[in-house]
Structure 1
Amino acid sequence: MLQAVMVEAGKIEFGQVEKPKPEDHEVLIKIKRIGICGSDIHVFHGLHPYTNYPVVQGHEVSGKIAETGTLTRRFSIGDRVTFMPQVTCGKCYPCQHGMYHICNSLKVMGFQTGGAAQEYFAVPENMVLKLPDTLSLEEGAMIEPVSVAVHALGRGGDVSGKKILVLGAGPIGNLVGQVAKGVGANVVMITDLSDFRLDMVRQCGIDFTINPEKED
């Protein structure tokens, strides 16, 4: 199968590698869509402090189940899915209390361990999520960054009926604003120094935007 490897900062090489075989509790996903995260760009430019080369990137992903391990029960061949890209121990205090994202030995696919920039990728069944029929594969690959926005708003409490200000109109700021509106915020404003990004968030339905370099 084809695989993309970032062998060093600024250099990606494509090569043929053996197709993975899913373990008993894994599923094999035929990768269909991969998002490019801001952190991926940092890795490309050699600016990510926790990534060594060579590395296979790809952690914002959607695809279809191609094979299932002998002990898997939740998925069928052809199911459209995404997955959580964290590799955790499952034993430390954070993991035992539902906070696997701060596992004491956390690794993230595409950074500290291999990612999904290849034709097929094997993932533990418990890390895989089935996409509803209402979501496209493109939207499915956005679930990971959207989850960041959902988590951020969850930490901030109930925003129903409130006025929300988001500082920064990059992809995550844009998603935070959209999620805020989706869960009932009355008005959402986003600020940024980039008119291009502010135009994008307006296209996504954000109520008000301000470039503080140009207006008070």
Structure 2
Amino acid sequence: MHELDLLDIWRQQHPFDNRYSWRGPNHKQSRLDYFMITSDIEAFVVSSDIGISYRSDHSPVLINLRFSSQLREKGTWKFNNSLLRETEFIDKVKGDIKTVIEEYESDPSMDIETEDKQFNISYQLLWDMIKMKVRGSAISFSSFQKKEGNKKEKELLYKISLLDEKLLENNLPSVYQEREGNRTRIKNIEGKKCKRDNNKS
């Protein structure tokens, strides 16, 4: 390592911490994973950490680098098709459509299902107003889902971190099983996130 000018940055920043990055069968634990950097970029490392493992038996070794500050531009909004499987969202959209129609209808007494309703605005503008209303509901619903998912994931990660501390003190099978259960729950949350992202069109 010295000859190659490599640093174990996590150990460099945490000289006295006792942490493991791998957990295997029979409850074995070890720090097998390293993030090696050259001394040239050491000054750019803001922080380093050993994350919580829930995707595999290895924990991620993380470093936070700061080279320069760049602002990310906003992308184009796209409808998330997975929302169409959410009963609550579908009911909200039905209500949105009804609200827009009632707001712009010329004669509220007419039945839209049996009669040709007339509106105070053109059909094209009416359609645009409906889309705008549905878009707002989709953004709001997706934001709520994401917030709740992130909250649940943070709670589970915190529970796993507490269980990791217990495993350092006493490697009990019951604690390990509880940890694996929380790990599975996080993987399920991550799986749902991936499906939502893949369904954006």
Query: Which of 1 and 2 has greater Rg?
Result: 2
* TM over 0.5, shorter chain: no
Structure with more strand by fraction = 1
Structure with more helix by fraction = 2
